[in-house]
C-alpha cells in the first residue's frame, strides 16, 4: 500500500516506538497524527508532517475526535499504528499482599481495550474511504510483546494485555477483510525506549546479553522499519511477528 498523500494515526506517538514510527511514516510521504497524553506531547520533538493530538486511548470521546481530525485532513486515512501502552510489574501474591485488582484492570484497559478502541473507530473511518485499484483501504498495526508468549514473574497484567492483542489479530483481520483493511501485530523484545531510560548501563548490558543474535537491545527505528514493511506487503495479514533477536524470556 502506498503511503504518499495519505493520513496515518500513531498512538503513543510522542516518544519511543511511536515517535520512531511517526517519523518513518512522514519520510514516506504520509501526514501523521500522533496521539498521546498532553504531558508526553510537551516533551515531543517537533517534526514537519507530524501533528500531535492530545488523546487518551481509554477515552472513546477523545479517540473519536482524534480519528475525525485525521480523517478530515483532506487525504484518505490509510494507516493506524497502536504503540500506546504501559509496562508495569506486580506479582499476583507479593510482600505487600495480593495484586492490586484495579491496577490489573487499568493495564488491560490501556494496553488492550485502548488498542481495540483505536482500531475499531479508525477502521470505521477508513472503511468510508475509496479503495485503491487493489481494493485496499488501510492497514492497522498493533503492538504486543514477547511477554504475550514468555511472560515473566510480575508480568501477569502486562502479559494478559499483550496476549489479548495477539488473540485479537486474526479475528480483527477477518472482520475487516470485507472493507479492504489488513491487521497485523508486532511483538517486540527488549527495545531501547524511555521505559528503560531509568535503569543502569549494567542492567541494560545484562538484558542485551540474553539476546542470542544480534546480542544487543532492539532500536525503535527497527520497529518502525518493520511497520513500514508490513504496510508495503499487501499479502501480509492476520499475523503476529516477533521482533526480538530470537529472545525467549526466562521466568525472571
Q: Which grid cell sits at 64?
A: 473519536
3-state SS string over the chain? CCCCCCEEEEECCCCHHHHHHHHHHHHCCCEEEEEECHHHHHCCCCCCCEEEEECCCCCHHHHHHHHHHHHCCCCCEEEEEECCCCCCCECCEECCEECCHHHHHHHHHHHHHHHHHHHHHHHHHHCCCCCCCCCCCEEEEEECCCHHHHCCCCEHHHHHHHHHHHHHHHHHHHHHHHHCEEEEEEEECCECCHHHCCCCHHHHHHHHHCCCCCCCCECHHHHHHHHHHHHHCCCCCCCEEEECCCCCCCCC
Beta carbons of 123 and 70 less than 8 angstroms apart: no
Name the residues annotated as catalytic: 158
Alpha-carbon distance of 124 to 74, in angstroms, equals: 17
Amino acid at each position: 500500500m502506498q503511503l504518499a498523500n495519505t493520513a496515518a494515526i500513531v498512538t503513543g506517538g510522542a516518544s519511543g516506538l511511536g515517535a520512531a514510527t511517526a517519523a518513518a511514516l512522514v519520510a514516506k510521504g504520509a501526514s501523521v497524527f500522533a496521539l498521546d497524553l498532553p504531558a508526553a506531547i510537551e516533551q515531543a520533538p517537533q517534526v514537519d508532517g507530524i501533528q500531535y493530538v492530545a488523546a487518551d486511548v481509554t477515552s472513546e470521546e477523545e479517540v473519536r475526535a482524534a480519528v475525525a481530525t485525521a480523517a478530515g485532513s483532506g487525504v484518505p486515512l490509510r494507516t493506524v499504528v497502536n504503540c500506546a501502552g504501559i509496562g508495569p510489574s506486580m506479582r499476583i501474591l507479593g510482600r505487600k499482599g495480593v495484586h492490586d485488582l484495579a491496577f490489573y484492570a487499568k493495564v488491560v484497559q490501556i494496553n488492550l481495550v485502548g488498542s481495540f478502541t483505536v482500531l475499531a473507530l479508525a477502521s470505521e473511518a477508513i472503511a468510508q474511504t475509496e479503495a485503491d485499484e487493489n481494493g485496499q483501504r488501510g492497514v492497522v498495526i498493533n503492538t504486543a510483546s514477547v511477554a504475550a508468549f514468555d511472560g515473566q514473574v510480575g508480568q501477569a497484567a502486562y502479559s494478559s494485555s499483550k496476549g489479548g492483542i495477539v488473540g485479537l489479530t486474526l479475528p480483527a483481520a477477518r472482520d475487516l477483510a470485507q472493507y479492504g483493511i489488513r491487521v497485523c501485530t508486532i511483538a517486540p523484545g527488549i527495545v531501547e525506549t524511555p521505559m528503560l531510560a531509568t535503569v543502569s548501563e549494567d542492567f541494560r548490558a545484562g538484558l542485551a546479553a540474553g539476546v542470542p543474535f544480534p546480542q544487543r537491545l532492539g532500536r525503535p527505528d527497527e520497529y518502525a522499519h518493520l511497520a513500514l514493511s508490513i504496510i508495503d506487503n499487501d499479502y501480509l495479514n492476520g499475523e503476529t511477528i516477533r521482533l526480538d533477536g530470537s529472545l525467549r524470556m526466562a521466568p525472571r
